Chains A and B, each alone.
Chain A
Amino acid sequence: MSQRMVVSEEGLYEVLAFLVSSAQILVNEPHLYGTFRLIDGASRLIGFALESGQLEDEEFFRRLKEDVDERKFLLMTDEDTYFQLLEDSTRAMAREMKKRASAQEAGA
């Protein structure tokens, strides 16, 4: 399993600005916006990691980001599809991490 740094210091600042701003404004925003900020934050983080070119499995993250960015705005018009995106993204992450854990075990 790689120990490489995949987010630059500039990227870190930008993600942190997004997270702390979100934390502040979510106090008054509709509660579903919280889910949106989290999935959007995930997409932004992936974006910085992809920019670094240091990812082991770039394709997985690229696909995940594309899927998130394609469906995230449906929160405003099609909640069911948006909720499905949240479930699909979580499942995709779990599948990928399980695969990585298995590969690591097999390699140990």
Chain B
Amino acid sequence: MDVMEAIKGRRSIRQFTDEPIEKDKLERLLEAARWAPSGGNLQKWRFVVVTSASQRELVKKFAPGIFAVPTAFIVICAEVEADANEWKQRLYLADCSIASQNIMLAAYEMGIGTCVALSYAKSAISEILELPENVEPMLVVTLGYPAEDPQPPPRFELSEMAFEELYGEEWKP
């Protein structure tokens, strides 16, 4: 699949079938995440894959922004260094976000639907997944075979967001 086709074709999927995702496909998604770039090549991301029914139900109950139980979650965490300052915290989030996009694009290519969520109670997710104190859940990716085919939401035009040389100078194609 062409990369641009995946970028433009991927939708946030919120309704899933019951069909489980094969283990080798989940590993391929982790592999996609592993090859994402990270600031200073720190690779402080950690990935917890949740597929058991009981754990999925629990995670979903403490994630008000997730509306159906997916067949899998990948909880993307950051292993926070003892000396992490505000800049480092931003770096962790940026790195985890890039990894999540790798996961979502690779999933799309395999016909797996995804949605990335931030609307969950971190403290509850930490308890449920038994995360060590220095490991923080940064993003939750829901995964499953799509049970919906949503239309793409509107996007701003490039002319509204891209500039040439100076902010405010119109981007000319």
Contact = CB atoms under 8 A, between A and B. Distances in A.
A35 to B, nearest CB: 13
A76 B120 CA distance: 18
Contacts of A14: 61
A37 B121 CA distance: 13
A18 B60 CA distance: 9
A29 interface: yes
A17 B61 contact: yes
Contacts of B120: 21, 25
A24 B121 contact: yes
A89 interface: no
A37 B64 CA distance: 7
B17 interface: no
B63 interface: yes
What secondary structure prevails in chain A residues at the interface with B? helix
A25 B120 CA distance: 7
Report which residue of B64, B122, B123 has the largest number of chain A beta carbons within 10 angstroms of its beta carbon: B64
Given A17-B124, A29-B119, A22 B64 contact: yes
A104 interface: no
What secondary structure prevails in chain B residues at the interface with A? loop
A1 interface: no
A20 B121 contact: yes
Interface in A49-108: 76-77
B62 A21 contact: yes
B91 to A, nearest CB: 19
A7 to B, nearest CB: 15
Contacts of B122: 24
A40 B153 contact: no
Interface in A8-52: 13-14, 17-18, 20-22, 24-25, 29, 33, 37, 40
Given A17-B124, A20-B121, A25 B64 contact: yes
A21 B124 contact: yes
Contact of B153 (A22, A25, A33, A77): A77
B62 A17 contact: yes
B121 A25 contact: yes
B115 to A, nearest CB: 13
Nearest to A13: B61
A14 to B, nearest CB: 6
Interface string B119-141: 11111100000000000000000
Contacts of A20: 121
Interface of A: 13-14, 17-18, 20-22, 24-25, 29, 33, 37, 40, 76-77
Interface of B: 61-65, 119-124, 153-154
